[in-house]
């Protein structure tokens, strides 16, 4: 199996993922949203957890992503 250059940095519901994705996009970080339930639906299969998504970023951008995630996670916890 080939190793990926992308790493999962966040997982959560649709709203949380969109918030993180938008913050990363504003910093010109190219993130990918992975939604296995939607992929399964499109392929004709079911999924056990609906609305659960993951954000993946390139390993080279991990140093830029970490402080953004820490800030957003502290904001989410305070809410």
Could you state, in order of their start, the residue ranges of all structural domains in the chain?
Answer: 6-78
Q: What percent of the chain has pLDDT over 70?
A: 76
The mean per-residue pLDDT over the stretch 43-47 comes to: 55
pTM for this predicted structure: 0.77
The whole-number pLDDT of residue 76 equals: 75
CATH number of 6-78, picked from 3.30.930, 3.30.70, 3.30.160, 3.40.1400: 3.30.70
Q: What percent of the chain has pLDDT over 90?
A: 56
Residue 58: in which H helix or E strand, if any? strand 53-58
| pLDDT top residue among 10 and 41 | 10
Q: Distance between CA atoms of 18 and 34, rounded to whole angstroms?
A: 12
The whole-number pLDDT of residue 21 equals: 96
| Contact assessment for residue 71 and residue 19, using Cβ atoms and an 8 Å cutoff | no
For 65, counting Cβ atoms within 10 Å of its Cβ (0-12 exposed, 13-18 middle, 19+ buried), the class is buried
| 44: pLDDT strictly greater than 60 | no
């Amino acid at each position: 199996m080939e190793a990926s250059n992308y790493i999962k940095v966040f997982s959560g519901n649709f709203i949380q993922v969109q918030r993180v994705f938008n913050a990363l996009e504003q910093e010109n970080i190219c993130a990918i949203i992975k939604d296995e339930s939607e992929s399964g639906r499109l392929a004709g299969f079911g999924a056990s957890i609906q609305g659960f998504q993951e954000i993946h970023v390139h390993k080279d951008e991990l140093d830029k992503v970490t402080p953004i995630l820490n800030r957003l996670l502290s904001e989410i916890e305070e809410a």
